[in-house]
Amino acid sequence: MHPLLPDLSEIRKKRVKLGINQRELGLHVGVNQSTITKIENGKIRPSYELVYSIFRFLESFEDSSIGLIGDIQVTPVTFVNKSEQLRRALSMMQNRGFKQLPVKDGELVVGSISERSVSRQIVKVKDPTQLLNKPVSEFMEDPFPMVPESTPISWVTSLLQHVQAVLTTRKGRVFGIVTNADLIKVISTR
C-alpha cells in the first residue's frame, strides 16, 4: 500500500518556495526539465513512483533544521588537472591536509582522486615511485556529486555515506566542497 501524496499542484508551490528550479528538480528525480514542466501544468499524468520521488526530494529540502550545506562548505575548491602528474596531486593533498581532490579537464569536473584510489595502484607495482610521473587521469575515479548550496545538511549527510565528498554549486557553477570531516566539525562545535 502506498502512502497518500499531496495534490500535483503542490509540486510547483513547494519547488518555488524552496528556490529550486525545474531543471534541478528534474536532475534529482531522474527526468528532464520538460517533464517537470508538463507535470506542473497538468499536461501529463506521471507514475506514482515519479510523484513519490518528487515529493520525497522536496520534503528533504524542507528538512533544513540543522542548516544548509552552503553553511559548512569549504571555499574555494582546490582542483587538480587530469593531465598533471600524480606527484603534483599528492603534494597538493599533503600540503593542504586533503584526502581527496576533484579533477578538472579545462573547466569541466571530470573525476576525483583520493588517497584510496592511489593506494589501490601502489599495491599493484614493485616500485611505487614509478607512478609519480603518471597523469592523474590514470588514478581518477568518478566525479563527486554536485548539489546546490541550498541543500539541507541532513540530505547531504546520507549522500556522504556513499562518497568521499560533495561539491556545492551556486548558479550552476562549482562553488564549494564538503567532506565527512566538515560534517564532524559542525557536529562537534554545536
pLDDT at 1 over 50: no
> What confidence tens digit (pLDDT) does each residue in 128-177 have?
999 999 999 999 999 999 999 988 887 788 788 889 999 999 988 999 99
pLDDT at 64 over 80: no
Q: Which residues pair with 28 in a beta bridge?
A: none
Greater confidence, 162 or 109? 109
Q: What are phi and psi of 95, to 5 degrees?
A: -65, -30
| Cα–Cα distance, 131 to 118 (Å, whole number) | 9
pLDDT of 160 reads: 87
> What percent of the chain has a predicted confidence (pLDDT) above 90?
66
Greater confidence, 62 or 151? 151
CATH number for the domain whose boundaries are 9-62: 1.10.260.40
pLDDT at 73 over 70: yes
Q: What is the pTM of this model?
A: 0.66
pLDDT at 65 over 90: no
| Cα–Cα distance, 150 to 163 (Å, whole number) | 19
Tracing cell 607495482 back to the chain, one arrives at 125
135 in Cβ contact with 110 (< 8 Å)? no
pLDDT-derived band at 2 (thresholds 50, 70, 90) equals very low
Domain ranges of the chain: 9-62, 70-188
The mean pLDDT value for 62-82 works out to 86
Asked if the 70-188 domain carries CATH number 3.40.50.920, the reply is no
The mean pLDDT value for 99-122 works out to 96
